[in-house]
Amino acid sequence: MSKQTSSVFSVDVTGLDGAEGQPTYIRICDRIRSAITGGALVPNARLPSSRTLAKDFGVARNTVDEALSQLVADGYVIRRRGAGTFVATHLPERDSPPVRTKRAAPARPVAEERRLSVRARELASYPGQYRPQIAIPFTPSLPPVDLFPRSIWNRLLNREAARAGNDYWAYGASNGLPALREAIAAHASALRATRCAPDQVIVVTSTQQAVELAAKVIANPGDSAWVETPGYQPAQHCLRAAGLRVIPVPVDEQGIVVRTGRELEGRARLAYVTPAHQYPLGYEMSLPRRQELLDWALQSDAYVIEDDYDGDYRYEGRPIASLQGIDASGRVIYVGSFNKILFPGLRIAYAIVPRPLVGAFVDAKHVADGHTMTLTQGVLAAFITEGHLARHLRKTRTIYDERRRAFLEEARVLAPVLDLGPARAGMHVTGLFKAGGRKRLNDAAVAAECCRAGVNVHPLSKYGAVDRGGLVFGFAGASREASRRGLEVVRRVLMNN
């Protein structure tokens, strides 16, 4: 069967023939159930017709009907006469995701709540754990994993795993495999103009881990941290988890408004920013603003965490050097992640740390989880040094750029209601609801309705308090056709709201 994704819908139909020895309808059943329990198909979402599903799965229609009957019997979907088949509102207890999703009201008994720490209760207010996501338009920050050259990766994996010696099997260094730290230092300095030696690179699992470790090393509980508003919420959760007070600082076209930050809390211990491509508004921090931020950090003995999550993707103009690269005073902790540019299941990111902080950072990583898996680090080191990373970036840059152009063209249908922000870089674009429209739109309600119709846009309000509502679109995963159909859904929802 060819690799494809069910039209409009989010049931990934790839590799159905990979399962062992089960009847086809059971495999289809499993696939749809996983999409439901994984959260990709939300309650009340309408499934495509059995004819469409049969075509997508490449099977006879009665096989799909058999699978749907099974799912009805199991309570995962319901049939509404004349209306179609829908994901059940209440999923069966047995197979519902092990953790309640945050969207449903948590049903924790009060006594149990009391057993949890303040931190745990704070964590419970966050949007929730990762659920396996499959590619539907327009999930932001989800790289299209089908573009990743798995066969090359797997070849390197096999080769590295077969290597003699115990490097990949015994305990590894907490700061990471030397070969990978060297590869990262070279990559980041070539592409992002960072200035560092390999001993300043610390390999971690994810941006989140880097932010939490940085916060622990730099700040004491109760210290303050500036964050961009709107901004990347998971990073803020990490800062809070480390005991910090989070100070929301507004963002303008030049980036975080340092002046306002100084007014709100000049003595903050750190600032978390996304200078290359502000998340989610898409602005690039201007050079004067960068200097202003660095000046503040130096004067206040504070640090800047630079999250360069999509700095490798820029389609217009020349990439601005990283903040780390223009920092002469050692105030910047640069964070990069391969989970966003290769594949999310990888779990390798890194921090580039001012030399005086290196020892403490490595200690913190050691205490947090020992070290990151060594074999995977070895494979990634080979992937980088043998040129595959550069090739993959070139390839995806071209494809994302095509998709970006297609998205922007197709998005003209939204021009009457939405002001699209800058889209010169990265993998997403944010549209603000037009000011002075006939009524104030609720972006969360709009996004939820889009989601039920199989289009995953994020409401801007999810990223912190904002004056105007809006929607965040990830364009990197959507073909022109998917963009067109997805945007048509969004247009329809906006018209009806």
- For the segment 112-131, give every residue that binds a copy of itself (CB under 8 A): 112, 114-121, 123-124, 126, 128-131
Should residue 216 be labelled a site residue for a copy of itself when binding is judged by CB under 8 A? yes
Nearest approach, Cβ of 440 to a copy of itself (angstroms)? 32
DSSP string, 174-221: TT--HHHHHHHHHHHHHHH-----GGGEEEES-HHHHHHHHHHHH--T
Among 205, 224, 229, 483, binds a copy of itself (CB under 8 A): 205
**Could you tell me if 308 and 336 are in contact, meaning their C-beta atoms sit under 8 angstroms apart?**
yes
Q: Which is nearer to a copy of itself, 103 or 150 (CB)?
A: 150
Piece of the chain touching a copy of itself by CB under 8 A; list 57-65, 202-210, 312-320, 387-395: 202-210
Binding mask 323-362 for a copy of itself (x = CB under 8 A): ----------------x---xxxxx--------xxxxx-x
Should residue 391 be labelled a site residue for a copy of itself when binding is judged by CB under 8 A? no
**Could you tell me if 188 and 334 are in contact, meaning their C-beta atoms sit under 8 angstroms apart?**
yes
- Tokens (6 digits) for 142: 């989800």
Should residue 365 be labelled a site residue for a copy of itself when binding is judged by CB under 8 A? yes
d(CA 48, CA 9): 7
d(CA 102, CA 409): 35
Among 55, 61, 79, 108, binds a copy of itself (CB under 8 A): 108
Q: Which of 46, 42, 38, 54 is nearest to 6 (CA)?
A: 54
Q: What residues between 35 and 54 interact with a copy of itself by CB under 8 A? A: 38
Residue 203 β-bridge partners: 350
Among 72, 78, 145, 298, binds a copy of itself (CB under 8 A): 145
Should residue 406 be labelled a site residue for a copy of itself when binding is judged by CB under 8 A? no
Among 208, 322, 430, 456, binds a copy of itself (CB under 8 A): 208
Count of residues binding a copy of itself (CB under 8 A)? 105
Binding mask 151-190 for a copy of itself (x = CB under 8 A): --xx--xx--xxxxxxxxxxxxxxx-----x---------
Should residue 12 be labelled a site residue for a copy of itself when binding is judged by CB under 8 A? yes
Residue 248 β-bridge partners: 227
Should residue 14 be labelled a site residue for a copy of itself when binding is judged by CB under 8 A? yes
* ∠ Cα 304 177 204 (to 5°): 35
Q: Which of 335, 346, 308, 284 is nearest to 143 (CA)?
A: 346
Half-sphere exposure of 285 toward its Cβ, with a 13 Å CA cutoff? 28
Nearest approach, Cβ of 42 to a copy of itself (angstroms)? 16
Should residue 372 be labelled a site residue for a copy of itself when binding is judged by CB under 8 A? yes
d(CA 315, CA 338): 20
